[in-house]
Amino acid sequence: MISQRVQAAAVVLFALVIAGVVYVLLTRAGQDVPASQEPATDSGDDPASAEEGPVGRLMLTAGEGDVVVRYRTGSCSEAGGPKLELSKNQGRTFHEIRIPQVGEGTGVGATAPAIRAVVAASATSPTKLTVAGADEKCGVHRYTTDDGGQTWNEESGAVDEWYIDPRSGDVVSPTGPTDPGCKRVGALAPVSATVAKVFCSGGAIRTTRDGGSLWTVVGQLEDVAGAVFTSATTGFAEVSKAGCKSRVQATVDGGVTWQPKGCIVDDQLIPGFSGTEKRLVADGPGGTRISTDDGATWEPPTME
């Protein structure tokens, strides 16, 4: 009898506890949540509040030794800005480099804005880099660093680089704007201060040997995503073909004729493509690939 009374009392006590919890929950549900206790919202759900990421085409420049520069070009008209990265080990790993700032007449100040676009970037060592970048008005200037990007100097004088103008899409030579004769430029491959190759979107390959005063058609190659010439006659281009989205084509006669080489990655187009006389480098979503046999075979960079 006593045991039954104890059990009944326990049941009643448990029911009272449950009722109390329900009451508290219902009461709180009817109250406003203080602002400091409101759940944090993901800024990614609100495009206006989300921080803009880097924009523009992914570009690659293979430098001396094992140095590789990778950058997003940015844009003069689109928010987001460029991104600059450097690899000391052929592209196996990259670390971000601070974007140069626009000069204020007497140098680069702490409050000076970052450049809007990068049109060319190169490195002769892990600490010495040169960048051609566009300011807020889309004027292109030359910047150099000797300490890996911790500090930048804006150089005076004209930019002595070949590049595609970030505002108009036209080709600019070291001596000024030039018209290669393309309706639209698909890829630009500088060779020297006076020699360059342009791959027109229609497939024509045009070259100049006098800094852009005269351009002539030398060959034809369709669907070129990127190209590099390691000499006036030796060049490599990345094209998208059936069965291989990033096929390498090679020329030894300045672009007159082309021969297929290896496939970098068969299922995607690799946006970054560059090289030197010793190696070719490609980089994209699947990581970096290296070729030391003129594009015939491609492998990830070797481990240190």
Domain boundary among 166, 188, 211: 166
Judge whether 32 lies within some domain: no
Position 104 scores a pLDDT of: 61
66 CB-contact burial (10 Å; exposed 0-12 / middle 13-18 / buried 19+)? middle
Picking from 68, 41, 178, the residue whose alpha carbon sits closest to that of residue 123 is: 68
Domain boundary among 120, 148, 166: 166
- Classify residue 24: in a domain, yes or no: no
Q: Which of 166, 195, 211 is the last residue of a domain?
A: 166
Host H or E run for residue 248: strand 244-251
Q: What is the pLDDT of residue 25?
A: 39
Q: What is the pLDDT along the chain (304 residues), one digit of tens a residue?
A: 444 444 444 444 444 444 444 343 334 433 333 333 333 333 333 333 335 678 999 999 999 889 999 999 999 999 899 999 999 999 999 999 999 998 665 555 666 789 999 999 999 999 999 999 999 999 999 999 999 999 999 998 889 999 999 999 999 999 999 999 999 999 999 999 999 999 999 999 999 999 999 999 999 999 999 999 999 999 999 999 889 999 999 999 999 999 999 999 999 999 999 999 999 999 988 889 999 999 999 999 986 5
Return the pLDDT at 5: 46
Q: Does residue 62 form part of some domain?
A: yes
Q: Which pLDDT score is estimated for 109?
A: 60
Structural domain of 81: 54-166
pLDDT at position 55: 92
Q: Is 209 exposed, middle or buried (0-12, 13-18, 19+ CB in 10 A)?
A: middle
- What is the domain count for the chain? 2
SS3 150: coil
pLDDT at 107: 55
Q: What are the CA-CA distances from residue 5 to residues 8, 13, 15, 230 (Å)?
A: 5, 12, 16, 96
Residue 260 shares a structural domain with residue 200 = yes
> What does pTM read for this prediction?
0.78
